[in-house]
Structure 1
Amino acid sequence: MATVHHWTGLEAKALRHALRLGVRAYAEQLGVAVATVSKWESKLADTEPRPDTQAILDTALGRADAAAHLRFETFLSEMSGSARSADRRVTAVGPRAWEYETWTDDLDRVVVALSRQNFTFADSLLTRWLSRFRAPELDERGLYLLARSTALLGDLRRYQGAVLGPLSARHSYADARTVFTQLDIPRRVAQLDLSLAVVTEMSGKLESAARSYEVLSADDRLSRRDRARARLWVGTALSKEGNHDYATRVMRAATREFEDLTEPDDWSVAHQKLALARRGAGDLTQALQFIDIARSSGSTDSPMQRVRLDTAHGHILLSDTATLDDGLRVLDQAARTAAQYGLVHQLRSIQGIKAIGEEPTGSRRR
């Protein structure tokens, strides 16, 4: 719920709109003159209610239901932004206390939205804040939220397959890294180095990505879990380069680490990666064993993870002429899910795998 530490005419007007009251009805509810409400609404942030009226406004806001609180936050956000835009002569001011709280809550919502691949909602929440404040008007708390928002925007763009260019994941990650470096938060900087390495791998620069992962797998700035992820991704890059046996050894080490850390989702992902490495090595029996473990463990609530599991499973099935049709069926399902949730990078990958897998089918038919 929103709280106001110091009322001005701006907050008072936003509360009236949130309660859906006319000026006269609002004045009657608060026990003030209509002229007083009119003054608040004409002067906005340039006027302040008296101390006793501030307490009355606190009570009115406290009694409002959850829907009214949400409307209050929304109206106040819009009105604050409009006030800043309308008068550029006023010295820039940073977020108010309630805005910090709402911004933090919205970023938590973004994390959930991204986990469910609800990209439209995540984008709207991030745009709401990234378009409202600029770095020069923010204190350290605001800069932290700005950097975290920018990093999440990078995640959004990476999931959508935008890895290069001025509006890409790489650009967002680099911007967030600059701010976290300024704030002297080494752990966040290292996490963004890890994200940048992922983008490097996605753009096809496997050798460079593998080198970055290897360095980060021993970086004390990262948590033990993040270091294990870096080690797993070293194996991923090696496998894509054709070094399947070496990749398998590296991935097994990461898998043991996830087991020690009791991280079932990461453990499941590691088996998925192991399955693809064994497929690349031509060991389809072990590949199927690993993908079965991945499919039966960890969480499949995320559309992204369902697509990744189905893509890996389909890729393995496609490698054997006896299960080729089953593989194409699994990949078709993965493609439908990827298209439904806007997973562009995964969709391209599926299409590439299908194009290669359908070649022997065409040859048999001829």
Structure 2
Amino acid sequence: MASVHEWTGLEATALRKALRLSVRGFAQRLGVAERTISKWEALGATTRPRPDTQAILDTALAQADAAAHLRFETELSAGPHPGTVSRVLRTWPRVWDYESWAEDIERAVVALSRQNFDMAGKLLGRWLTRWPARDLDDKGLYLFARSTALVGDLRRDQGALLGSASAHHSYSAARTLFAQLDIPRRVAQVELSLAVITEMSGQHDNAASQYEQLVTDDRLSRRDRARARLWVGTALSKNGNHDYAASVMQAASRDFEGLSEIEDWSVAQQKLALAHRGAGDLSAALHFMDIARSTSMLDSPMQRVRLDTAHGHILLSDPATAADGLVVLAAAAELAAKYGMSHQLQSIDGIRRDYGRQPALGRR
């Protein structure tokens, strides 16, 4: 519902048009002279009705139906003085705004799953910039928090991990909003996402500690707790503790199997493959990698890059298959660059640099 803090001729003209009245009809509606209406329309934002007339205009707007309110806002937004409009006009979300916002969140989730970052950013950004969080009721604040968390996902997948315009910043803001709304499950989910950022930033010990706390956190669903367990193993493996990491990952894999979460189970096989590669058991690594590649049901660019990066890394570890590994990594790098997945691209470049630093004998 729109309201006007201070009426000028600009808003008065917009209201007349929104009510679909002639100058004479509008003057009669307000109880003022026709020449007054004409003056407002001629002078626009440079003239302000008297205080008693301001109140009359407030009443006329308040009594207008929803269609007239919509026409009023549209007329002002298309007017010749956008700076003046932003100063005097303030709108609050309506039921259909919330419905559209929720639909755009669903569309943004789909866009993110396909790594269509530009589309997801536009869908979320147009709502996050429309109203300040402090002006929203609980429903609007929830949508604002969900959108902010999804911006965190977007920035994470783009590799913007830390800083003022980063995944960490967005997740922290979303956690504050969900805490304000007293939704413990959402708070814990964002804390899990923040732990992922800690891991991706190279702080593996800290990430493992955060994951371990979330494994037994009753605020999370069983699936999210199993994910936290899997990521404990991931952090341990990245820190060189491959054997223990593999045992933790096996436990998470059993959790996913019991929950019938096939895609999560497949991801666990990929993580197990990398843990065994780190431990030097390339036969087991290839075994688990084959399972992951054959059971994954996702066909997103992100999942293809992750699978190819892991597969290429394993192939590169054996001189007999190293050439094939370089080909697989090159394809993964091309796809990562195409979709703007900078973190994955950095990981691939790091694997190739490490291979290039190996003794020549080891690269034959």
Conserved 8 A contact 1:94-1:139: no
**Distance between the aligned counterparts of 1:247 and 1:113, measured in 2?**
33
Describe the shift of the 1:256–1:223 C-alpha distance in structure 2 as closer, same or farther (beyond 3 A).
Answer: same
> Structure 1 residue aligned with 2:237, among 223, 232, 239?
239
2:224 alignment partner AA: D
Unpaired segments ≥5 residues, structure 1: 1-5, 9-26, 62-71
Superposed displacement of residue 355, structure 1: 1.3
Matched, 1:299 2:259: no
User: Are residue 88 (structure 1) and residue 84 (structure 2) matched?
Assistant: no
1:249 corresponds to which letter in structure 2? Answer: S
Distance 2:168 2:126 in 1: 21
Residue from 181, 190, 201 that aligns with 1:183: 181
CA shift at 1:35, angstroms?
A: 3.7
The alignment partner of 2:298 has SS state of: coil
1:216 and 2:214 correspond: yes
Q: Give 2:316's aligned residue.
A: 318
Residues 223 and 259 of structure 2 are in contact (CA less than 8 Å); yes or no, is this contact kept in structure 1? yes
Q: 1:160 to 1:188 in 2, by over 3 A?
A: same
CA distance in 2, matches of 1:278, 1:105: 43
**Residue 200 of structure 1 aligns with which residue?**
198
Aligned equivalent of 1:355: 353
- Which structure is larger by alpha-carbon Rg, 1 or 2? 2
Q: How many residues align?
A: 319
Unaligned runs of 5+ in 2: 4-16, 27-40, 45-56
- Structure 1 residue 363: Cα displacement: 5.6
For residues 297 and 106 of structure 1, the distance between their equivalents in structure 2, rounded to whole angstroms, comes to: 31
1:311-366 CA distances to partner (integer Å, 9 max, x unpaired)? 00000000000000000000000000000100000000001101112344856799
User: What amino acid is the match of 1:305?
Assistant: Q
Cα distance in 2 for residues equivalent to 1:84 and 1:149: 27
SS in 1 for 2:328: helix
Distance in 2, Cα, partners of 1:290 & 1:35: 76
1:156 matched residue in structure 2: 154
Look up the match of 2:330.
332
After superposition, the C-alpha distances for 1:179-220 in whole angstroms (9 at most, x for unaligned) are 100100000000011000000001111000000000000000
Judging changes above 3 Å, is the alpha-carbon distance between structure 1 residues 174 and 325 closer, same or farther for their aligned structure 2 residues?
same
1:273 Cα offset (Å): 0.2
Partner of 1:69: none
Once residues 87 and 195 of structure 1 are traced to their aligned partners in structure 2, the CA distance between those partners, rounded to angstroms, is 36
Secondary structure, counterpart of 2:220 in structure 1:
coil
1:130 Cα deviation after fit: 1.1
Where does residue 266 of structure 2 map in the other structure?
Answer: 268
Q: TM-score, normalised by structure 2?
A: 0.79
Partner SS for 2:340 = coil
- Report % sequence identity: 59
Q: Is contact 1:324–1:357 with CA below 8 Å preserved after alignment? A: no
Partner of 1:229: 227
SS in 2 for 1:322: coil
